Amino acid sequence: MIHFAWPWAFALLVLPVLVHRFCPPALAAEEAALWVPALFPFAGIQHQKTGRQGRWSLYLALLCWLLLVVSAARPQWLGEPTELPISGRDLVLAVDLSGSMQTRDFRLKGENVDRLTVLKAVAGQFIQRRVGDRLGLILFGEQPYVQVPLTFDRRTVRQLLNESALGLAGERTAIGDAIGLAVKRLRKSEDKQQVLILLTDGANTAGVLSPLKAAELAAREGLKIYTLGIGADAMEVRNFFFSETVNPSADLDEETLNQIAKKTGGRYFRARDTEQLAEIYDELDRLEPIAQEPEIFRPVSELYPWPLGLALLGGVLLILLLQLPARSRQ
């Protein structure tokens, strides 16, 4: 069906009538004139157009005005109503991009890769499955920032996660500030289940807000936080003379991550390899959504360019029509 977004614009239809009725006509003295000694050479020239050509010019001008008013009213074509599957959950992913995420202690498809590469592969599949959830993405290092606000567009969230780069937000880790930013963004969302999935491989080493204080604020706002600690327990490091086994996750603050989850009613997970990380996201994928009434969506197509284009075409024809008498006199 056709719908007009601004129907009040049709009140402009009477504007030409009002101008004709209340505005005084132009004075003859203000018109252009040519002083000649005698008028008989110009006796056959009429100052105004009369007859059929004048009427057609008037009709075409009125038609152009009508098309302009219709275009100003913003005609739209409303498609068939469609139900959107809504789960009622706002789910935000907070991803650590600090320098330690470049540690190559994971294997993916038989190759040693860094932690962020594995996260992109596993979390991307998780994002693709979250049909009906509003998803958001926060990236943090020394400072957090919102990469994707809450949206149903899962493709965009996954694409921008894949485009994230190590060290983009600084080398250190501000876990508390990341949680605080998530609380701020989700505060305006009412009557929804709010979930934050925070993934990091270290401890809070930057920011102004402590992680536990941020967790208290999140609990007060009803935000449930699932924390994921990522990193292997052992990694072989080779140098010129010998190789040794080190713990690449020595800086991981598991106690704080566990307390954050407990304060907000969530859980703490530990991912030491790619398989465990995939299992964790499978577990998170089984969260029960809050049932809500489905939202109705109707696709809208703008139609105003059509009457606007016809009005411009009519204006060109009107100009050509008005120039015909002048050319015929030359």
Whole-number pLDDT of residue 48? 47
* Residues 279-289, mean pLDDT to the nearest whole number: 75
Contact 96, 143 (CB under 8 A): no
Question: Coil, strand or helix: which one is 152?
Answer: coil
Token pair listed for 277: 């990380």
**Cα within 13 Å of Cα(85), Cβ side:** 7
- pLDDT exceeds cutoff 70 at 220: yes
Please spell the DSSP secondary structure of 27-47, one letter per residue: PGGGS-----S-SGGGTT--S
- pLDDT exceeds cutoff 90 at 176: yes
Whole-number pLDDT of residue 293? 57
Identity of the residue numbered 72: A
Instruction: Give the containing element (helix H, strand E) for 90.
Output: strand 89-96
Q: What is the pLDDT of residues 73-84, one digit of tens each?
A: 999 988 887 766
Whole-number pLDDT of residue 273? 83
- pLDDT exceeds cutoff 80 at 127: yes
Instruction: Say how far apart CA 190 and CA 59 lie, in whole Å.
Output: 56
Whole-number pLDDT of residue 16? 86
Question: Coil, strand or helix: which one is 105?
Answer: coil
Asked which of 5-14, 30-39, 225-234 is least confident by mean pLDDT, the reply is: 30-39
Banded pLDDT at 24 (limits 50, 70, 90): confident
Instruction: Say how far apart CA 4 and CA 77 lie, in whole Å.
Output: 9
Instruction: Say how far apart CA 104 and CA 231 lie, in whole Å.
Output: 9
Average pLDDT, the chain: 82
Domains of the chain in sequence order: 2-79+299-329 (no CATH), 85-284 (3.40.50.410)
* Residues 3-13, mean pLDDT to the nearest whole number: 91
Whole-number pLDDT of residue 181? 93
Element counts in the chain: helices (H) and strands (E): 9, 15
Instruction: Say how far apart CA 58 and CA 90 lie, in whole Å.
Output: 59
Asked which of 129-133, 185-189, 322-326 is least confident by mean pLDDT, the reply is: 322-326
Which 8-state DSSP code applies to residue 294? P
Instruction: Say how far apart CA 216 and CA 263 lie, in whole Å.
Output: 7
Instruction: Say how far apart CA 97 and CA 141 lie, in whole Å.
Output: 5
CA angle 196–201–206, rounded 5-degree value: 80
Whole-number pLDDT of residue 49? 47
Q: What is the pLDDT of residues 293-313, one digit of tens each?
A: 566 777 888 999 999 999 999
Q: What is the pLDDT of residues 239-249, one digit of tens each?
A: 666 666 666 67
For residue 302, list its beta bridge partners. Answer: 76
Token pair listed for 215: 């967790």
Instruction: Say how far apart CA 225 and CA 179 lie, in whole Å.
Output: 9
